[in-house]
C-alpha cells in the first residue's frame, strides 16, 4: 500500500486507494458495509479492505453463474490469449506489486520472486488452455460400431479459498487452472493477502476477462468457507491451507450437493501442474454410431 500519508516535502497530500472487491466486473464494497483493518507486520496500520458477507458471496455466485456459459464456450485460443493478457498486465504493474508485497511484510527479494513467478504462472496456464483437452481427452476403441470419445468440460462455478503465505501467488496459482479449464471462479483472500488480491482485481479487470468470470472477495475465512461449501449453485470448492477441522467440515458440507472438493496444502508445490486443470473439469463421453 503506497501513498499512505502526506508528502511533507511537496506539501501535497497523496491520493489513497480504496480497495474494492471485484464482483461481476464491478468494483464494489461489501454490501454489509463492513471493513477490516490491514496492518503491516510491525503493526503499522495500512488501510482498510472489505469484509465480505455471505450475501456478497451469493451475489458473486450469481455473477459467476451468469458468466459460466459464455466463458465455457469461449474458444480455447481466446482463453489462452486472455490469460496471457493478464500476464502482460501484471508485468506492466510489477513495480507496484513489489511495493505492495513489501508493504505487507515480504522482503524485497521475496516480493520480486513472487511477482515474477505469478506472471510466469499465468503464461504457463495460458499455454495450456488449448492443449489440455488433447492430453486429457481420448478416443476410445469400443468393440461395437460407434465412434466413442471423451472430452473435458468445465464444471461450472468454482469457489477458491486462497492461502495467505504467498499473498499474490497463492491466489494466482488457484485462479489460473480453474479459469483455463473454462470455469468461472469466486475467490476469497484473507488477512494481509487481501491487499494483493484487490490489486490483482485491477489487473484482471483490464485483461479482457468477461465480467463475472473472476470474482474476488476478501474477508474472514471462518465466516465464509462454510457458505462456500454449502452453496447449492457452486460446483466445486478448492481450498488452500485449510486445517484439519476446516477440511473435515468442508468435505462434509460439500456432500449436500456433491460439490467436488479439493483441499490443497499451502506449500507452493505443484503450482505448475496441468492435473490441477483436471481437478475442476468433468469428463464427458459421447457415443456416436458409425455406419449408414
The residues of the shown chain that bind other proteins, judged by CB under 8 A, are 135, 138, 140-144, 146, 148, 150, 153, 155, 235, 244, 247-249, 251-252, 254-258, 260, 274-275, 282-289
Does residue 23 contact residue 215 with C-beta atoms inside 8 Å?
A: yes
| Residue number with CB closer to other proteins (221 or 259) | 259
Compute the least distance from the CB of residue 165 to other proteins, in Å: 22
Region of 194 on the Ramachandran plot (φ > 0 left; ψ -120 to 50 alpha; else beta): alpha
Compute the least distance from the CB of residue 189 to other proteins, in Å: 25
| Residue number with CB closer to other proteins (88 or 153) | 153
How many CA atoms lie less than 13 Å away from 140 in the CB half-sphere?
16
| Residue number with CB closer to other proteins (95 or 138) | 138
Does residue 283 contact residue 151 with C-beta atoms inside 8 Å?
A: yes
Compute the least distance from the CB of residue 109 to other proteins, in Å: 30
Compute the least distance from the CB of residue 276 to other proteins, in Å: 11
User: Which residues have C-beta within 8 Å of that of residue 10, sequence separation ≥ 6?
Assistant: none
| Residue number with CB closer to other proteins (69 or 95) | 69
SS3 (DSSP) at 95: helix
Region of 106 on the Ramachandran plot (φ > 0 left; ψ -120 to 50 alpha; else beta): beta
| Residue number with CB closer to other proteins (44 or 284) | 284
User: What is the secondary structure of 223-273 as a DSSP string?
Assistant: HHHHHHHH-TT--EEEEES--HHHHHHHHHHHTTTT-EEEEE-SS-TTSS-
Compute the least distance from the CB of residue 112 to other proteins, in Å: 29
Compute the least distance from the CB of residue 286 to other proteins, in Å: 5
| Residue number with CB closer to other proteins (50 or 155) | 155
Residues in the chain: 292
Sheet with 236-240, strands from edge to edge, namely 26-28, 21-23, 214-219, 184-190, 157-161, 236-240, 260-264
Amino acid at each position: 500500500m503506497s501513498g499512505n500519508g502526506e508528502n511533507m516535502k511537496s506539501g501535497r497530500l497523496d491520493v489513497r486507494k480504496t480497495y474494492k472487491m471485484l464482483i461481476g466486473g464491478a468494483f464494489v464494497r461489501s454490501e454489509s458495509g463492513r471493513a477490516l483493518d490491514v496492518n503491516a507486520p510491525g503493526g503499522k496500520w495500512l488501510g482498510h479492505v472489505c469484509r465480505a458477507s455471505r450475501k456478497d458471496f451469493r451475489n458473486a455466485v450469481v455473477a459467476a453463474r451468469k458468466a459460466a456459459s459464455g466463458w465455457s464456450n469461449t474458444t480455447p485460443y481466446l482463453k489462452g490469449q486472455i490469460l496471457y493478457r493478464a500476464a502482460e498486465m501484471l508485468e506492466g504493474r510489477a513495480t507496484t506489486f513489489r511495493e505492495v508485497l513489501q508493504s505487507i511484510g515480504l522482503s524485497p527479494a521475496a516480493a520480486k520472486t513472487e511477482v515474477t513467478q505469478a506472471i510466469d504462472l499465468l503464461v504457463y496456464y495460458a499455454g495450456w488452455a488449448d492443449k489440455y483437452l488433447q492430453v486429457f481427452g481420448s478416443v476410445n476403441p469400443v468393440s461395437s460400431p460407434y465412434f466413442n470419445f471423451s472430452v473435458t468440460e468445465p464444471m461450472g462455478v468454482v469457489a477458491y479459498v486462497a492461502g495467505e503465505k504467498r499473498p499474490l501467488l497463492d491466489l494466482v496459482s488457484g485462479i489460473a487452472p480453474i479459469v483455463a479449464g473454462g470455469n468461472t471462479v469466486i475467490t476469497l483472500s484473507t488477512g494481509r493477502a487481501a491487499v494483493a488480491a484487490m490489486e490483482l482485481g485491477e489487473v484482471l479487470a483490464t485483461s479482457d476477462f468477461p465480467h463475472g468470470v473472476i470474482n474476488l472477495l476478501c474477508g474472514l475465512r471462518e465466516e465464509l468457507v462454510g457458505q462456500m461449501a454449502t452453496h447449492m449453485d457452486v460446483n466445486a470448492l478448492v481450498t488452500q491451507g485449510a486445517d484439519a477441522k476446516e477440511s473435515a467440515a468442508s468435505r462434509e458440507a460439500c456432500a449436500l450437493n456433491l460439490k467436488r472438493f479439493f483441499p490443497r496444502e499451502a506449500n507452493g508445490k505443484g503450482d505448475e501442474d496441468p492435473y490441477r486443470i483436471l481437478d475442476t473439469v468433468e469428463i464427458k463421453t459421447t457415443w456416436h454410431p458409425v455406419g449408414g
